[in-house]
Structure 1
């Protein structure tokens, strides 16, 4: 299975974000199975007509999100879903709650800010 993506140079999102979002969506939907080996950074950049640093930035973001894992010189692979994403989400929520508390926000204000942020990102 080949990874066919296109990058729209006129899109409002930068190319690395387009790559990140499309790979993440395919991995989460199962279109890219766990263990699928992604193309090399250089090879994929060449295929897309982009700088290698652009693809590398997308791969780093995907790894930080737990969507892929890099196995040294063996390459980059689609990771098993769940564990990393859940752990990172819980850590981000905890960090937000601690920061809101330090800033003096009460529970209702902190929850309202989260609700507004979720609505802005996920839509309503």
Structure 2
């Protein structure tokens, strides 16, 4: 894997395996890592990040379970084939959905910072 770099924030409450999983998933789904791109071995990425191999192995297992990567003995771990990108969302429908979220969150007493935090948290949970 040449190009994008995975970074681990040791002060984050998010476990390192989840940081790896989320960053690789984002790179793959954004197609910044191309189909069939070979990823570093578990041991190599663990050494590069200063983590235990089991941490990287867990991230890889979860990515494989999500069909984002494929691991084969002797062939390494590679980015899986992804379906064609989804069409762009309907911007009017998206704006309407955002408006409903903001108004309902305000009714719950949330301010703008709390709303943004909730959206960030939801985005972090996306595969």
Same fold (TM over 0.5): yes
- Stretches of structure 1 lacking an aligned partner (at least 5 in a row): 84-118
Determine if the alignment matches structure 1 residue 26 to structure 2 residue 48.
no
Determine if the alignment matches structure 1 residue 50 to structure 2 residue 57.
no
Q: Is the 8 A contact 1:3 1:38 kept in 2?
A: no
Higher helix share: 1
Q: Deviations over 1:70-97 (max 9, x none)?
A: 12121100001139xxxxxxxxxxxxxx
TM-score, normalized by length of structure 2? 0.63
Q: Would you say how many aligned residue pairs link Structure 1 and Structure 2?
A: 88
Distance in 1 (alpha carbons) for counterparts of 2:51 and 2:17: 9
Distance in 1 (alpha carbons) for counterparts of 2:17 and 2:82: 21
SS of the equivalent of 1:70 reads strand
Moved over 3 A (4+): 119-122
- Stretches of structure 2 lacking an aligned partner (at least 5 in a row): 85-118
Distance in 2 (alpha carbons) for counterparts of 1:48 and 1:19: 10
Tell me the C-alpha RMSD between the 2 structures: 2.2
Mark the CA change 1:3 to 1:38 in structure 2 (over 3 Å): closer, same or farther. Answer: farther
Distance in 2 (alpha carbons) for counterparts of 1:13 and 1:20: 11
TM-score, normalized by length of structure 1? 0.65
Determine if the alignment matches structure 1 residue 10 to structure 2 residue 17.
no
SS of the equivalent of 2:39 reads coil
